Amino acid sequence: MLEAIASARTILTRLHEVMASRSVAQAKLNTVVEVIGEGLDSEVCSVYLLREGMLELFATRGLAQEAVHVTRMAVGEGLVGTIAATTDMLNLAEATAHPDFSYRPETGEDKFHSFAGVPIVRRERAVGVLCVQHVDPRRYEEVEIEALQTVAMVLSELIANAGLVDEEEAWGLTPAQTGPAHLRGLTLVKGLAIGTAVFHQPRVTIEHTVAEDTEAERQRVYLAFDKMREQIERMTAQAEFGVGGEHEEVLETYKMFAYDEGWSRRINEAIDSGLTAEAAIERVQQRTRMRMRQIDDPLLADRMHDLEDLANRLLRTVSGQLGTAASKGLKNDAILIARNLGPAELLEYDRRRLKGVILEEGSLTAHVVIVARAMGVPVLGRVRAMRGQVREGDQLLLDADQGTVTVRPAPPMVEAFETRFARSRERQAVYASLRDVEPRTKDGTRITVMMNAGLRDDMPMLSMTGADGIGLFRTEFQFLVSATLPARERQTRLYRDVLDTAGNKPVVFRTVDIGGDKALPYLRHNDGETEENPAMGWRALRVALEREGLLKVQARALLEAAAGRTLNVMFPMVSEPWEFDAAKAVFDKQLAWLKSQKKMLPEAIRYGAMLEVPALAEMLDVLAPKLSFLSIGTNDLTQFLFAADRANPKLAERYDWVSPSILRFIARVIRNLDGHDVDIAVCGEMGGRRLEALALIGLGIRRLSITPASIGPVKQLICQIDTQEITMAMQGWLASPPVDMRAALVGWAAERGIECD
């Protein structure tokens, strides 16, 4: 038999001929079992394929021919069914000793003792089983099993090309180990969704498994390795840049695998056995997967996950299938799965079909999450090892309220979920009914509740939610969705449309806040260098002041768009008062120019700053006289106060927005502005969460700008509270903070029957 292994290549060559021949599919299969049986010196060789949900004997050498198309078994039944269900091989010296053995007299298999079988896998699912049997009771050698697995790979191509299995049917397969699974994660954007799993970076479907020219295949893999290593080096140079979310540790592991001699050698050996570059990569990956499955070590499972990622990257490079799922377009209601995403990558998806997002990483204030929240798409983050559990096309029930996802649910689960979904819609309807209700506390204090926006598509939400205006329009979103820097005319058009839609309601335009995790590929450093800490680096106003042209163009666009109306301009990341002055000077200059040209000017211009950098809090006495408003950006403020990267998944749950340090800081900002005619608002994600909003109102905040989905719930909260009461409570807590501020607030709200998530 070992000799036969040496001729695995000969088997593949012969299989290749069979596949290329003009005979009908059944005749081809009959020849295939002969070729394999002969090549492996095996008395029996059989192929079972999935048809109408059952595994049917399609061809055999050695078993009774009368059993062909007669012997059928369910997935999970007998040895063959077990292999299909587990997508794992079986290697038995005595087949009858296995607990799953089921005797089929029509096959005449009683005289054979040993049995080895491997799954025939197509798109990660078993579509059939290839097995060999011997009279002698002995276990097969590892090399023999490997040869069988290589052959099974080639068979999957033949089967797919001949249309011998219904791939759609294979998708619907829910055998034992591919049955329902529950996974947990961290809620990033609340909401429920039903849809099918779509991988942002789809798995490559291998079309050709047998090589025409082995040397050419070696060359392809060699080049792909080169390219992949180059990519990894580039990513390492940009580590922490955030867009791909790849972090240093992961990149180090990537690097280790990318340069691993053993890995490339095994792929080359697989090519030597006659496989194409793609099939060889997959074959080696299958083998590693199988080995890893036998080792129960979470650390190794993590590494396996990285290797899977890398192998997929290599496959994508070698096959030239580099596009993401967005470039292919979503076909049905989809739940997108990715390790991490940049905001621009998310925006490439069709909003109508994108029902949810599951990230293996992710954190609450990462911009991709803010974008998703604005899109009204629920997001579950930090779900580990999705690739191992979910396959493309699997049905998913995403419950981002509870922080769970159910994979391949059984029908009763879907039913129960739909009931909850309907209830959640009812709740939404209650919030929607608050549209025209003024957000006033029980004691009559009017709280201004505005919404955050960034795209034209967000605008309908203004009237749908009944928000008081737009307290933060993130102008950089237009830059993120464009392939090049948006021209002034395009900017003007967007701003004008936004103002037109808003009508009498105010809109606060924030000048571009790019950099950080909102990197633009077309806007790089002058010196081409990458940054170690982009969130604290060349971003927002710092970019705008250095690239004055950028701010000049935006200033003109905003001033022209607001002709005859009030323009509210807000500068992000102001760290020192002079930066505000410098930015305002750019607007003043543009205003003077427009005046000289006798163009229509805005009726009024109100300038404001974001307070995101703690240093600014110390300078408010200097800045305040120049401001009409100040908006506290708690997303960045928190990351700088706690020195905790907002995009770092490891820190996602570490610090609490209702911690005394943040609340005291905000209270101090409010005190520092006492006596100045400056509107104070909070526009970070914090204000959109009810318990946090309650705390902010207790501090004296009367203006919130929040994500549209939070407007209803926050309005409902406002109507239930008494500002005097919460102010008193908050003063007490800030003077001597409880050990657990969150618990104190939750208890306080519960005592008064105030609903707070």
Binding site for ligand PEP (CB under 6 A): 370, 472, 474, 513, 612, 633-636, 683-684
For Mg ion, give the closer residue by CB, 421 or 655: 655
Cβ at position 582, least distance to ligand PEP in Å: 20
Beta bridge partners of 440: 446
Question: What is the rounded distance in angstroms from the CA atom of residue 58 to the CA atom of residue 70?
Answer: 9
Residue 638 token pair: 């928190």
CB 92 within 8 A of CB 78: no
For ligand PEP, give the closer residue by CB, 194 or 379: 379
Which residue in the shown chain puts its C-beta closest to Mg ion?
636
Cβ at position 723, least distance to ligand PEP in Å: 24
Give which of Mg ion, ligand PEP, none residue 710 binds (C-beta under 5 to 8 Å, depending on kind).
Answer: none
Which residue in the shown chain puts its C-beta closest to ligand PEP?
633
| Interface residues toward Mg ion, by CB under 5 A | 612, 633, 636
Question: What is the rounded distance in angstroms from the CA atom of residue 331 to the CA atom of residue 579?
Answer: 47
Q: Rounded to the nearest 5 degrees, what angle is found at the Cα of 189, between the Cα atoms of 474 and 359?
A: 100
Question: What is the rounded distance in angstroms from the CA atom of residue 456 to the CA atom of residue 476?
Answer: 12
Cβ at position 513, least distance to ligand PEP in Å: 5
The torsion angles phi and psi of 750, rounded to 5 degrees, stand at -65, -40
Instruction: Return the H-helix or E-strand segment holding 368.
Output: helix 367-375
For Mg ion, give the closer residue by CB, 366 or 663: 366
Give which of ligand PEP, Mg ion, none residue 361 binds (C-beta under 5 to 8 Å, depending on kind).
Answer: none
Question: What is the rounded distance in angstroms from the CA atom of residue 209 to the CA atom of residue 149?
Answer: 12
* List of residues 6+ apart from 549 with CB closer than 8 A: none
Cβ at position 749, least distance to ligand PEP in Å: 24
CB 2 within 8 A of CB 41: no
For ligand PEP, give the closer residue by CB, 469 or 633: 633
Question: What is the rounded distance in angstroms from the CA atom of residue 731 to the CA atom of residue 725?
Answer: 10
Cβ at position 572, least distance to ligand PEP in Å: 7
Cβ at position 475, least distance to Mg ion in Å: 13
Task: Quickly list H helices, 376-435.
Answer: 386-389, 411-433
Cβ at position 640, least distance to Mg ion in Å: 10
Residue 678: other Cβ atoms inside 10 A: 19
For ligand PEP, give the closer residue by CB, 83 or 573: 573
Cβ at position 517, least distance to Mg ion in Å: 10
Give which of ligand PEP, Mg ion, none residue 684 binds (C-beta under 5 to 8 Å, depending on kind).
Answer: ligand PEP
For ligand PEP, give the closer residue by CB, 218 or 542: 542
Give which of Mg ion, ligand PEP, none residue 313 binds (C-beta under 5 to 8 Å, depending on kind).
Answer: none
**CA nearest neighbour of 646 among 391, 376, 368:** 368
Burial 377-414 (b: 16+ CB within 10 A, else e): bbbbbbbeebbebbbbbbbbbbbbeebbbbbbbeeeee
Give which of Mg ion, ligand PEP, none residue 245 binds (C-beta under 5 to 8 Å, depending on kind).
Answer: none
Give which of ligand PEP, Mg ion, none residue 471 binds (C-beta under 5 to 8 Å, depending on kind).
Answer: none
Instruction: Return the H-helix or E-strand segment holding 304.
Output: helix 298-319
Tell the burial category of 597 from Cβ atoms under 10 Å away from its Cβ (0-12, 13-18, 19+): exposed
Cβ at position 639, least distance to ligand PEP in Å: 8
For Mg ion, give the closer residue by CB, 87 or 631: 631
For ligand PEP, give the closer residue by CB, 309 or 636: 636
For Mg ion, give the closer residue by CB, 545 or 729: 545
Cβ at position 637, least distance to ligand PEP in Å: 6
Cβ at position 193, least distance to ligand PEP in Å: 24
For Mg ion, give the closer residue by CB, 158 or 541: 541
Give which of ligand PEP, Mg ion, none residue 683 binds (C-beta under 5 to 8 Å, depending on kind).
Answer: ligand PEP
For ligand PEP, give the closer residue by CB, 164 or 370: 370
Give which of ligand PEP, Mg ion, none residue 474 binds (C-beta under 5 to 8 Å, depending on kind).
Answer: ligand PEP
CB 110 within 8 A of CB 97: no
Give which of ligand PEP, Mg ion, none residue 394 binds (C-beta under 5 to 8 Å, depending on kind).
Answer: none
For Mg ion, give the closer residue by CB, 228 or 366: 366
* List of residues 6+ apart from 596 with CB closer than 8 A: none
Q: Rounded to the nearest 5 degrees, what angle is found at the Cα of 184, between the Cα atoms of 178 and 188?
A: 130
Residue with tokens 């840049």: 241
Cβ at position 241, least distance to ligand PEP in Å: 16
Tell the burial category of 208 from Cβ atoms under 10 Å away from its Cβ (0-12, 13-18, 19+): middle
SS (H, E, C) 331-346: CCCEEEEECCCCHHHH
Tell the burial category of 296 from Cβ atoms under 10 Å away from its Cβ (0-12, 13-18, 19+): exposed
267 to each of 219, 222, 260, 312, how far by Cα in Å?
A: 12, 10, 11, 14
